[in-house]
Amino acid sequence: MGLFTGKKGLVLGVANDWSIGWAISNFILEQGGEIGFTHLPDKPDDDKQKNRRRVEKCIQGIDGAKFLVPLDVQDDEQIRNVMKTAEEHFGKIDFLLHSIAYADRTDLQNETIETSRDGFKMAMDISVYSLMAVCREARAVLNDNASVLTMSYYGGEKIVPRYNVMGICKAALEATMRYMAFELGPRGIRVNALSAGPLKTLAGSAAGVNDMMELYQHMSPLGRNVSHDEVGRAGAFLLSDLSNGITAEVLHIDGGYNAMGAPGRLMEQMIPKALAGRA
């Protein structure tokens, strides 16, 4: 028996096989879980169905992947339809992964102070409010003692240049997560966030996170970056019964980078260079 044998759930927001959502899903599927997936809707005139095909490529031939449907989290009716689909396939679900975030690329590339009003509203709606909307509509299909997980990043706690408006969104997302944990807590439903270090993902490249990888490698106590597999296992842990006593938490999986108050070993490289410059 696997860790997720007999467990059923929803994963919202996998974009492709580099997505953190897929790393978590893949581990759950290997451990016997059954999952219904959503994908970003394709445009009506897009015959290639790129968004759907990217996710289909991930789940093709996997028995535990039970369905794949489009989801625009700005549309409450679509959220309700996803929950109805989950109920038709599973009855009740044991876990829900919210792996959704978006900001206009122009707003990400500009200084945070230059973020447009409409861009700010859209980023907050998709990246933050969607967790609240999903939790609300999922209440009827979540089993008691189920687990909900969302994806955050350190840029919601501290300033990370180029993360910009998305850092503000992640701060709001973590606050939303805590309030959802309180309100769903009486049923034993846990709500947490996973804050992963930089990984090569579609979303990460747009937000400049990939540029942080070398810095994390030099500064983190482990002296390296984390892998997709490591993040996948950590996320699955928070969605499993092994974490039954944990809720309203942000779990960092970044090699310890978040604990550093100084450049650490990077300082050892910087000081000799600085001294050499004075000679």
Residues 203 and 234 sit within 8 Å (Cβ to Cβ) = no
Of the candidate ranges 80-84, 133-137, 144-148, 218-222, the one whose mean pLDDT is the lowest? 218-222
Higher pLDDT pick, 109 / 170? 170
pLDDT tens per residue across span 199-253: 976 665 555 566 788 889 989 999 999 999 999 999 999 999 999 999 999 999 9
Residues 39 and 70 sit within 8 Å (Cβ to Cβ) = yes
Q: In this structure, what CATH number is given to the domain that contains residue 164?
A: 3.40.50.720
Distances from the Cα of 231 to the Cα of 143, 189, 216, 237, angstroms: 25, 22, 15, 10
Residue 155 lies in a domain: yes
Whether 179 is catalytic is: no
Residues 207 and 166 sit within 8 Å (Cβ to Cβ) = yes
Which residue range forms the structural domain that includes residue 166? 8-278
Residue 178 lies in a domain: yes
Confidence of residue 272 (pLDDT cuts 50, 70, 90): low
Residue 2 lies in a domain: no
Q: What pLDDT, on a 0 to 100 scale, did the predictor assign at position 211?
A: 72
Residue 278 above 70 pLDDT?
no
Q: What pLDDT, on a 0 to 100 scale, did the predictor assign at position 35?
A: 98
Given 102, 153, 154, 257, the catalytic residue:
153
Residue 235 lies in a domain: yes
For the segment 44-54, the average pLDDT, to the nearest whole number, is: 87
Residue 74 lies in a domain: yes
Q: What pLDDT, on a 0 to 100 scale, did the predictor assign at position 202?
A: 61
Domain count, the chain: 1
Whether 129 is catalytic is: no
Residue 45 lies in a domain: yes
Higher pLDDT pick, 214 / 147? 147
Q: How far apart are CA 185 and CA 144, in angstroms?
A: 9
pLDDT tens per residue across span 124-137: 999 999 999 999 99
Q: What pLDDT, on a 0 to 100 scale, did the predictor assign at position 214?
A: 85
Q: What pLDDT, on a 0 to 100 scale, did the predictor assign at position 50?
A: 94
Given 102, 163, 216, 257, the catalytic residue:
163
Q: What pLDDT, on a 0 to 100 scale, did the predictor assign at position 267?
A: 80
Residue 3 lies in a domain: no
Residue 36 lies in a domain: yes
